[in-house]
Structure 1
Amino acid sequence: MIGSCWRGPLTGALLMLAGSLAGAAAATQGPQQRVIEATGRVLAALEHQAPQFEQTPARIDARIREIVQPHFDFVRMAGWVLGKHWHNATPEQQLRFGHAFRQVLLSSYAATLRAYRGQGIEYLPLRADPAGGEVTVRSRTLQPGRAPVVLNYTLWERDGRWRVYDISVDGISLVANYRTRFAGEIKAHGLDALIMRLEQHNRTGEPLQ
């Protein structure tokens, strides 16, 4: 997704976070409770449905779209990633970039899901006051024989629901990483060229260099 050092822990963490939460109780849950419950639900689904996913990889994409899209603010993520270029973009460019960027993320989740083998998760005290409308949910993904991966999820409250708009792995922000990477490409080749490259990646499945 952003290089081999990100692909496994980052996309796996995002996928685990984005479990399906239904009903009125989900809408009123605090951000950390949403993360904890979502993680448990998705891990259980992966454990019970892994054989079916391995036999029919296309089901992975459908499952990811089902559980992820309602719980992430892809529009805000796209806007933050492009920065000033988002505000200077036409509505059509915003729409095309947002769609292409979302597909890039979802494709990475699918790749992670195919290789998923299970990890333990430890949650740390919540950072910031939920009453302020923005929080960081901190956790550590435990890996046997290796140092834990520190995963921080940044959520904000919109329309009474908490949604993720950034995640960092060992202090490295997803949004900041893409923002820096894409800024150089836009400066060199323009926003349309970046959009076309992402769209080409989504059509062909070629690695995103």
Structure 2
Amino acid sequence: MKRNFLVVLCVLALAFTAMAETQTNNANDNVKTVEILLKEKTDAVLALLQKKDLDTSVKKERIMEIVQPVMDFALMSKLTLGKDNWGRFTPAQQTEFVDLFVERLKRSYLDKTGFYDDEKIVYQPGILAGNKVHVPMTIVSGDKPIELLYKFYNAGSRGWMAYDLEINGVSLIKSYQAQFTEMLKNGNPQDLLAELKKPVVETSSPGAPPAK
């Protein structure tokens, strides 16, 4: 009887060991998948930026075509507002907020793409963070390297998607969240939407390209 009990314990131990090894292998596969995905997208963007014959506006459009499939803008929008504030918006306001927020992201970051000057990208190993994957990289530009940390989650059928980006330790989501929370303390969703519309309106001045 005692021997049978020991046999059962050994079988269970082997089963759990095999399960742990499988989970570890799956986790490593996930990290590798995200590393490859991010490198492919980054390399594609860099190759595009090096094409001196392309107009800056064309580059911006093509960059969005490259990165948009792996950027969960809808989730990023919700996270910047937080659960409580997101619930204050009507479905129509939520849709409008996502559109305006994406436009703000485009203007904030794509406007910088015209200054590419053969910076060096240093890719670093991905990090498993619970059920998410974080991938750090460094942009070596002059004397001040820029540290980036891309945060991905598994979006099921849509694959791995980025939901946040840290630049030199500052979270994109938390930065916007602080701004929007402050705006909504003494205002309402419509006030915030009106504020977000301002940059878009300013872009549509005479002689400037029409805002999308």
Percent identity over paired residues: 29
After TM superposition, the score normalised by the length of structure 1 is 0.75
* 1:126 Cα offset (Å): 1.3
Segments of 5+ residues of structure 1 without an aligned counterpart are 1-28
* 1:190 Cα offset (Å): 1.8
After TM superposition, the score normalised by the length of structure 2 is 0.74
Runs of 4+ residues deviating >4 angstroms: none
* 1:64 Cα offset (Å): 3.1
Which residue matches 1:106?
106
Which residue matches 2:35?
32
* 1:34 Cα offset (Å): 0.7
Whole-angstrom CA distance in 2 between matches of 1:153 and 1:147 = 19
Contact 2:139/2:145 (<8 A) preserved: yes
* 2:47 is the counterpart of 1:44: yes
Any residues of structure 2 matched to 1:175-190 within 5 Å, and which?
A: 175-190=173-188
User: 3-state DSSP class of the match of 1:125?
Assistant: coil
Any residues of structure 2 matched to 1:134-149 within 5 Å, and which?
A: 134-144=132-142, 146-149=143-146
Whole-angstrom CA distance in 2 between matches of 1:203 and 1:30 = 40
Segments of 5+ residues of structure 2 without an aligned counterpart are 1-31, 205-212
Code of the aligned partner of 1:30: T
**Root-mean-square deviation (CA), in Å?**
2.0
Any residues of structure 2 matched to 1:1-209 within 5 Å, and which?
A: 30-48=33-51, 50-53=52-55, 57-83=56-82, 84-128=84-128, 133-144=131-142, 146-160=143-157, 161-205=159-203
Deviating more after overlay: 168-177 vs 183-192: 183-192
Which residue matches 2:16?
none
